[in-house]
């Protein structure tokens, strides 16, 4: 079953899976590139510091071999001398160690980039499975790493042995040379051997770096089923999302119906649209829509308004324009100011007449609604224009 699942994984990893892999510390790394960088960087550092190192070594040997009668009479002088030697060594070791640390970090970032995570260090509460552990030992990645390391060790050992065999007389002659000359010749011989080893490591690094990228991408490949499951998880369960949207619509509907009794009037297209408007000149720059609806919701807004004694006016063109271009809890469009102002003035006159403070107004005048704001206004077709 596991083999069949591996065979089905032919699709490249998604961005989400790549991100999760980085969080888990699963990024491509090349050991051969690290070995080459460490050896090359260390050799470069030694080459740059060789003149100073030789000078320090010469001075250190001279001080160590020099007989000091004072040290024989004063035991504390020995500790002073040891302290000086230790400080000299630290001046060599610490900068070289920092340099090698920077090289190790840079070689790690070369193909996998920066990725800081402590997740691989966390203990995992998974049961011990001997069969699974043995299976991992013979996984494709482990076999490739083992074969590659064996071949590298064999080639490096062969190259090093051949180099030593061909230069054994040269190394033997160092014993008869003065110390400064012997150190210089030894350094030159080691440098030549180092270049040979660097050439071998460079070839392995050129192969291993892209190989590790390929193996990491191959390991993270996904099957069709995994992509579907990930898409489902990222998008969420459609039934749950549909239920959430329904709950939000119900809450919005209840909130609108609760605001209808506070409106100044409701404008309707007899059976299809209803828009409730409110205007307070002390707090509002323009009338606001407190509720709107179509079809059954429009009838509910109408009945709620009548139950709260809010005037309901039949203005089909204005109702359609407001429904199409105004949002709940937002001010009406500026193009409809004049039409809404006439409707509000009509409502105020009607309220004054009903309270005995004025004459009953006549029919609602024709409202100046721009035709382009009415979604039901028929636009002339190209054939008619022709």
Least confident of 127-131, 170-174, 336-340, 345-349: 127-131
CA distances in angstroms from 25 to 13, 234, 329, listed in the order given: 16, 22, 49
Average pLDDT, the chain: 77
Residue 86, both tokens: 């230790």
Better pLDDT: 5 or 283: 283
> Residue 378's pLDDT is what?
47
Tokens describing residue 272: 């299809």
Highest mean pLDDT among 18-27, 200-209, 292-301: 292-301
pLDDT band of residue 279 (cuts 50, 70, 90) is confident
Q: Sorting pLDDT into bands at 50, 70 and 90, what band is 163? A: confident
pLDDT digits (tens, 9 = 90+) for 359-386: 777 777 778 888 888 787 745 444 343 3
Please name the residues in contact with 186: beta carbons below 8 A apart, sequence gap of 6 or more: 171, 174
The more confident residue out of 298 and 125 is 298
In angstroms, the first-to-last Cα distance of the chain is 70
Q: What does pTM read for this prediction? A: 0.42
What pLDDT was estimated at residue 160?
82
319-363 pLDDT tens trace: 888 888 888 888 888 888 888 888 888 888 877 877 777 677 777
What pLDDT, on the 0 to 100 scale, is given for residue 137? 62
For 219-278, what is each residue's pLDDT tens digit?
A: 888 877 877 777 776 665 566 677 778 888 888 888 888 888 988 888 888 778 999 998
Question: For 152-178, what is the mean pLDDT?
Answer: 81
- Block residue for tokens 């032919």: 10
Q: How confident is the model at residue 77 (pLDDT cuts 50, 70, 90)?
A: low
Residue 22 buriedness (CB in 10 A; 0-12 / 13-18 / 19+): middle
In this structure, of 53-67, 86-100, 207-221, 269-283, the range with the lowest mean pLDDT score is 53-67
């Amino acid at each position: 079953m596991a083999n069949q699942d591996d065979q089905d994984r032919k699709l490249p990893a998604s961005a989400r899976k790549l991100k999760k892999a980085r969080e888990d510390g699963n990024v491509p790394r090349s050991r051969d590139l690290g070995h080459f960088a460490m050896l090359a960087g260390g050799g470069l550092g030694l080459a740059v510091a060789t003149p100073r190192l030789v000078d320090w070594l010469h001075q250190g040997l001279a001080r160590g071999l020099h007989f000091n009668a004072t040290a024989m009479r004063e035991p504390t002088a020995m500790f002073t001398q040891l302290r000086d030697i230790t400080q000299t060594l630290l001046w060599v070791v610490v900068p070289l160690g920092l340099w090698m640390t920077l090289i190790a970090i840079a070689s790690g970032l070369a193909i996998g980039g920066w990725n800081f995570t402590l997740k691989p260090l966390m203990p995992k509460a998974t049961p011990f499975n001997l069969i699974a552990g043995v299976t991992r030992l013979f996984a494709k990645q482990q076999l490739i790493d083992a074969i590659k390391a064996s071949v590298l060790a064999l080639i490096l050992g062969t190259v090093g042995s051949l180099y030593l065999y061909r230069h054994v007389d040269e190394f033997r002659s160092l014993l008869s040379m003065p110390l400064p000359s012997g150190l210089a010749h030894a350094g030159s011989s080691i440098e030549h051997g180092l270049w040979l080893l660097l050439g071998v490591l460079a070839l392995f690094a050129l192969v291993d770096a892209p190989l590790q990228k390929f193996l990491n991408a191959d390991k993270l490949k996904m099957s069709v089923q995994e992509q579907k499951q990930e898409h489902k998880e990222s998008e969420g369960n459609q039934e749950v999302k549909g239920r959430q949207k329904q709950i939000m619509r119900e809450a919005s509907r209840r909130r609108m119906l609760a605001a209808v009794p506070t409106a100044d009037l409701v404008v309707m297209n007899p059976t299809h649209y209803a828009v409730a408007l409110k205007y307070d000149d002390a707090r509002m720059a323009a009338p606001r829509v407190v509720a709107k609806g179509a079809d059954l919701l429009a009838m509910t807004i109408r009945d709620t308004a009548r139950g709260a004694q809010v005037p309901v006016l039949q203005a089909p063109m204005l109702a359609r324009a407001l429904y199409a271009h105004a949002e709940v809890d937002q001010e009406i469009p500026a193009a409809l100011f004049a039409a809404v102002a006439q409707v509000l003035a009509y409502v105020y006159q009607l309220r004054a007449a009903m309270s005995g403070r004025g004459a009953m107004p006549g029919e609602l005048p024709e409202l100046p609604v721009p035709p382009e704001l009415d979604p039901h206004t028929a636009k002339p077709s190209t054939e008619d224009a022709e």
